[in-house]
Amino acid sequence: MANSWGNLLQNEQQLEELAQQAVDRALAEGVLLRTSQEPSSSDVVCYAPFTLFPSLVPSDLLEQAYAVQMDFNLLVDAVSQNAAFLEQTLSRNCSVSSSSTIKRDDFTARLFDIHKQVLKEGIAQTVFLGLNRSDYMFQRNADGSPALKQIEINTISASFGGLASRTPAVHRHVLSVLSKTKEAAKILSNNPSKGLALGIAKAWELYGSANALVLLIAQEKERNIFDQRAIENELLTRNIHVIRRTFEDVSEKGSLAQDRKLFVDGQEIAVVYFRDGYVPSQYSQQNWEARLLLERSCAVKCPDIATQLAGTKKVQQELSRVGVLEVLLPGQPEAVARLRATFAGLYSLDMGEEGDQAITEALAAPSRFVLKPQREGGGNNLYGEEMVQALEQLKDSEERASYILMEKIEPEPFGNCLLRPRSPVRVVQCISELGIFGVYVRQGKTLVMNKHVGHLLRTKAIEHADGGVAAGVAVLDNPYPV
Long-range residue pairs from 138-144, CB within 8 A, at least 24 positions apart, any chain: 138/57, 138/58, 138/61, 138/409, 138/411, 138/412, 138/432, 138/434, 139/344, 139/409, 139/410, 139/411, 140/410, 140/411, 140/412, 144/412
With a CB cutoff of 8 Å and minimum separation 6, the contacts of 326 are: 333, 336
Cβ–Cβ under 8 Å, residues 401 and 87: no
Q: Is 376 a catalytic residue?
A: yes
The strand pair at 213-217 and 254-256 is best described as unpaired
Q: Is 154 a catalytic residue?
A: yes
Half-sphere exposure of 331 (CA within 13 A, CB side): 0
Q: Is 92 a catalytic residue?
A: no
Q: Is 331 a catalytic residue?
A: no
Catalytic residue among 183, 295, 376, 433, which? 376
Distance CA 304, CA 125 (A): 9
Distance CA 86, CA 357 (A): 24
Catalytic residue among 116, 352, 361, 377, which? 377
Distance CA 370, CA 364 (A): 13
The strand pair at 403-407 and 346-348 is best described as antiparallel
Q: What angle do CA 477, 478, 482 make, to 5 degrees?
A: 130
Distance CA 372, CA 101 (A): 12
Catalytic residue among 152, 222, 232, 295, which? 152
Catalytic residue among 3, 100, 159, 416, which? 159
Q: Is 458 a catalytic residue?
A: yes
Cβ–Cβ under 8 Å, residues 112 and 315: no
Q: What angle do CA 49, 161, 311 make, to 5 degrees?
A: 110
Q: Is 73 a catalytic residue?
A: no
Catalytic residue among 25, 313, 314, 442, which? 313
Q: Which helix (H) or strand (E) holds 245?
A: strand 242-245
Catalytic residue among 149, 245, 275, 372, which? 372
Catalytic residue among 92, 458, 468, 478, which? 458
Q: Is 442 a catalytic residue?
A: no
Cβ–Cβ under 8 Å, residues 219 and 274: no
Q: Which helix (H) or strand (E) holds 22?
A: helix 12-29
Catalytic residue among 25, 92, 104, 133, which? 133
Catalytic residue among 55, 99, 132, 154, which? 154
Question: Residue 87 has what DSSP assignment?
Answer: H
Residue positions annotated with a catalytic role? 133, 152, 154, 159, 313, 372, 376-377, 458
